[in-house]
Amino acid sequence: MSKAIYPGSFDPITLGHLSLIRAGLVVFDELVVAVLHNPKKNTLFTVEERVEMMRDAIAEYKGIDETKVKVESFDGLLVDYAERLNIHAILRGLRAVADFEYELQMANMNRHLDNSMETVFIMAQDDFFYVSSNLVKEAAMLGANVKGLVPPNVLKELRAKVKTS
Ligand code: ADP
């Protein structure tokens, strides 16, 4: 049974993330989506909210078998968390060239920390090549309609945040 961890901030989840999970399940039998809890990072949604939104989004997304995906939160070093789960593959997405350098550094750092850990990259689907959580967040907070970039449950949550902010 091949397994990988798909780590990220997912603040918020976009259709790009969900498309990568679907693609990841072509390569791996099971995925653990690991939502990063980093108290130093200012996030729009709490880690509990992000985990719940990810679970709901996966359940609603056609094309992902939710029995093959676990969603958890983690903090600290990714390699330690992966070691605890006895998983040695990390799944990451690659979009524009801009992702490459950062991802290369991270992959090499993780391999340096634990040389049994390999990072597997899947290219972003062309529809979502330019979709990032940060852009979605900024646009939504300025009142833009981000339908088509995020799943319906996230759209609802973003609209609620705009109203209360
Ligand atoms: P991080 O803060 O770790 O970069 P993100 O939530 O921004 O967390 O991204 C998590 C992972 O998902 C990264 O590997 C990123 O490259 C990938 N990703 C983000 N957006 C997309 C997208 N539109 N298509 C494919 N992969 C994506």
Confidence of residue 93 (pLDDT cuts 50, 70, 90): very high
Residue 145 has pLDDT above 80, yes or no: yes
What is residue 98's predicted lDDT score, i.e. its pLDDT? 79
Residue nearest to atom 12 of ligand 1 (CA): 93
Atom of ligand 1 lying closest to residue 134 CA: 7
pLDDT in tens, 3-49: 999 999 999 999 999 999 999 999 999 999 999 998 888 999 999 99
Instruction: Give yes or no for a contact between 120 and 27, defined as CB atoms under 8 angstroms apart.
Output: yes
Residue nearest to atom 10 of ligand 1 (CA): 8
How far, in whole angstroms, is CA 106 from its chain's centroid? 15
**Ligand 1 centre from 118 Cα, in Å?**
17
How far, in whole angstroms, is CA 144 from its chain's centroid? 22
> Which residue intervals of the chain are DSSP H helices?
15-27, 47-60, 78-85, 97-113, 133-141, 152-164
Residue 97 has pLDDT above 90, yes or no: no
In a 3-state reduction of DSSP, which class is residue 67? Answer: helix
133 included as an active-site residue: yes
**Angle ∠(8,127,53) on CA atoms, nearest 5:** 40
Instruction: Give yes or no for a contact between 5 and 25, defined as CB atoms under 8 angstroms apart.
Output: no
What is residue 83's predicted lDDT score, i.e. its pLDDT? 96
Q: Which residue has the higher pLDDT, 163 or 137?
A: 137
Average pLDDT, the chain: 95
